[in-house]
Homo-oligomer: A and B are copies of this chain.
Amino acid sequence: MFKKMKRAAAMMAALIMIEGQVIMAGAEDKTHVDMIAHGRYVVTMDDARGVVEFGAVAVKDGAIVAVGTAAEITATYSADDILAGENRVLMPGMVNGHTHSAMVLFRGMADDLDLMTWLTKYIFPMEGRYVDPDFIAVGSELACWEMIRGGTTSFVDMYFYPDVIAGVVDKCGLRAVITAPMIDFPSPGFKGWEDSYAAGVKFVEDWQGKHPRITPGLAPHAPYTVSKEHLSQVAAKAKELGAPISIHIAEDQAEVKKIAAEQGMTSIELMAETGLLDVTTVAAHVVWPTDSDMKALAGAPVGAIHNPTSNLKTAAGIAPIPQMLEAGVKVGLGTDGAASNNDLDMWEEMRLAALLNKGKQNDPTVVPASAALKMATSGGAEAVGLGDVTGALKPGMKADMIQVSLDSLRLAPLYDVMSHLVYAAGSHDVVTTVVEGKVLMRDGKMLTIDEDALRARVEAVAEKIRADLAKTE
């Protein structure tokens, strides 16, 4: 009763206006928080709240404490930092479920090639020559720049020198599941399975529970590059450690045929047999699941990450997203590495996911805008094991959120905000990016990355690669 009266008094105080100015006399009755973020449309991705027009979110200690109309929030809370939301959408940051972040340094190096030429003439030799801790530091920071700029607030990474990646993520302010690559063959820094496995386990032990925004994990590369025994070994270790796994799985027909011939089963059945369906696994691609594979995935703590651009560019195929969603599989979206994309733009993936599946299924009603937006946010968070942490604007979740400007005439007129987010807006419309309550980009200005210094470091790496490419061609 007292609480209700207090709230009513606070609302009255806040609503008394003289010439447009709120009288601050009522402020002492309000709960003080760190930040109030506004939106002309607050797209919560929380089924209970939906889209709140003229809404706001109150943030304290990095977490969301309240979501409501601006009138409700400002009546109850006061804050030092106000993110104004006029003509902006406030929504959860996006979750990039699968990438190899530092590969942005290879973007546009080699396109439009068959897989073996691409891998053996370009990617593997260039990785062998250039991937070292400095390359990873520069490439990961460039990737973080692009993700912050485009409104991605969480990502699942699978690339070399994960401890270097973790350092960059710490500094730039994003949230990440960083998984250490393990492979049966020589790779940057490793002779083969034994040392890459050992280093991966050490990485998890070093980082687990140490950083609020970083979840370390293990990344056996794929079922065609890691033996069945080693898959079982890493699944058991992940279970023991309580760490997530990321892996490429059921990506193309070459893999499907190889696993069928060698193991007499599908790649998803191999996951089941080796224990990979018993732990939190981020299954990248899943282009070729059978019906029974989908059932198995739906019943497991596993997410399938749809990478539509990469799957088209490498001609892997088109994943059966409507069928997976129907079967109850947790589906997220990813960009894959920039060498097969060639950027880390989740807006393009979201749009393409909505479009591509309509074309494939010959049905314009599948993967509507709301479903695509869910895969990029709350659904993606669930798929990568962060469903309780990020991907929706609701009390208790971390304050990972972005503001999208509606100022461009390209977004006029507006009838349906969800439609515009999926079919017309893009990464360039993102103006503010917040992770765990900290503003990483404000009104288009980057706050945690020195762009000029980064550009110089990128150029220094690129100059060497350019000279090398000139010799290759």
Contacts and interface: CB of A to CB of B under 8 A. Distances in A.
Interface of A: 105, 107-109, 111-115, 118, 142, 145-146, 149, 253, 309, 311-318, 341-343, 345, 348, 351-352, 354-356, 358-359, 361-365, 367-369, 409-410, 412-416, 419-420, 423-424, 426-428, 451, 454-455, 458-459, 461-462, 465-466, 469
B415 A466 contact: yes
B369 A414 contact: no
A342 B465 contact: no
A414 B361 CA distance: 37
B368 A111 contact: yes
Nearest to A419: B108
Contact of A313 (B313, B315, B355): B355
Contacts of A149: 409-410
Contacts of A113: 364-365
The 6 closest A-B pairs by CB, nearest first: A413-B462, A312-B359, A112-B368, A108-B419, A312-B355, A428-B428
Contact of A107 (B316, B354, B362, B413): B413
Contact of A412 (B142, B367, B414, B426): B142
Given A364-B115, A409-B454, A359 B420 contact: no
A343 to B, nearest CB: 5
A15 to B, nearest CB: 27
B309 A355 contact: yes
Contacts of A364: 112-115, 118, 313-315
A312 B451 CA distance: 38
Contacts of A107: 413, 415, 420, 423-424
Interface residues of chain A: helix, strand, loop or mixed (majority)? helix
Contacts of A369: 111-112
B312 A409 contact: no
Given A342-B424, A419-B108, A409 B365 contact: no
A315 B465 CA distance: 42
B342 A413 contact: no
A359 B423 contact: no
Contacts of A466: 413, 415
12 contacts: A107-B423, A108-B419, A109-B416, A112-B354, A118-B364, A309-B355, A311-B359, A312-B358, A314-B364, A343-B410, A352-B355, A413-B461
Contacts of A451: 409
Contacts of A342: 419-420, 423-424
B412 A455 contact: yes
Given A423-B341, A455-B409, A315 B361 contact: yes
A462 B343 contact: no
Given A423-B342, A424-B107, A459 B413 contact: yes
A115 B363 CA distance: 9
Contact of A108 (B316, B352, B420, B465): B420
The residue among A341, A410, A458 with the most chain B CB atoms within 10 A of its own CB is A410
